[in-house]
Amino acid sequence: MLDKIKQLQEEIGTLVAKSKEETEQLRIKYLSKKGSISQLFDEFKNVPSEMKREIGQALNILKNQATERINDLKETFEEQGNETGSVDLTMPGDSMKPGTRHPISLVKNEISEIFNRLGFKIAEGPEIEDDWHVFSALNFPLEHPARDMQDTFFIEKDPDVLLRTHTSSVQVRVMEHTQPPIRAIFPGRVFRNEAISARAHCFFHQVEGLYVDENVSFSDLRQTLLYFAKEMFGEDTSIRLRPSYFPFTEPSAEMDISCSICGGKGCAMCKGTGWVEILGCGMVDPAVLDSCGIDSKKYTGFAFGMGVERITNLKYQVKDLRLFFENDVRFLKQFESAY
């Protein structure tokens, strides 16, 4: 019996087939119920018990080898997709699914386009920043508690190298190099040292806006933001500005829009109030203009900053922020036709 096993093993080592059918013939010859290997298994019951262990092991090895070899052959023909084993070059190619834009990119682009229509140009700044551009030039005094409001990732201390906590830093960079009129928006990624949860992440995206010229007023700010809200969330959207505080704007405000989910009736998104906050804004503090080399006696300006994830949530009602950053294609594919 051992000899027979050996002989079959040699045979199997050299098996070849020219087609799927031939492979099937081989399977029948060796592995089907009447196949030569199965027959050996039938004969196994007659093996004297002292030999059973050795022969049993050899038989199992043989069966595994044969199964593996025949499966390999089968696979070659399946991969080639045709039975002669050659490739048909006239077959049409596999269609490729185009990729989809990430929802954050979709919304960031949409925000940019809306402000483009009002003449705002796009500018970008570095993610790795220094203290001056993120805090000092924006009127955060050294010991100002507002610096603690934003838990900062420091790369180096003294001189400070840090990841920007907001895109307001780009305001400073642009004003340092450009004289008014300035009308621009700054989309980008920002970083804060926060524990990751459904509602917070250590990085996210903002779009900052800046308009500096002679005679820019708070009503210009209001009208610009109203236009944005209606373009983004629909003609029926209304806005309200609540007084607030930011070191770099005076006066400052936070802007709510009428809830785009319930239309203002009250729902979980707006916690029953009918309003949801979407951005911070205000008139650029004259001290900031001066820090950046712009004459605050001649020029005034407004600025605003919004979170892209927040706007995306309102548009698409994504409940868990982490979904934006895991890049699970099952999530991303849902935005295929979004834009």
* Site residues (vs ligand DAH, CB under 6 A): 166, 168, 208, 246, 249, 280-282, 303-305
CB of 158 to ligand DAH, least distance (A): 24
CB of 253 to ligand DAH, least distance (A): 8
CB of 266 to ligand DAH, least distance (A): 26
CB of 252 to ligand DAH, least distance (A): 6
Q: Among residues 27 and 310, whose Cβ is nearest to ligand DAH?
A: 310
CB of 192 to ligand DAH, least distance (A): 9
Q: Among residues 77 and 211, whose Cβ is nearest to ligand DAH?
A: 211
Q: Among residues 8 and 137, whose Cβ is nearest to ligand DAH?
A: 137
Cis peptide upstream of residue 181 (ω within 30 degrees of 0) = yes
Q: Among residues 17 and 134, whose Cβ is nearest to ligand DAH?
A: 134
Alpha-carbon distance values, 164 to 173, 178, 280 (Å): 13, 21, 17
CB of 242 to ligand DAH, least distance (A): 12
CB contact set of 317 (below 8 Å; sequence gap of 6+): 261, 269
Q: Among residues 66 and 288, whose Cβ is nearest to ligand DAH?
A: 288
Q: Among residues 232 and 279, whose Cβ is nearest to ligand DAH?
A: 279
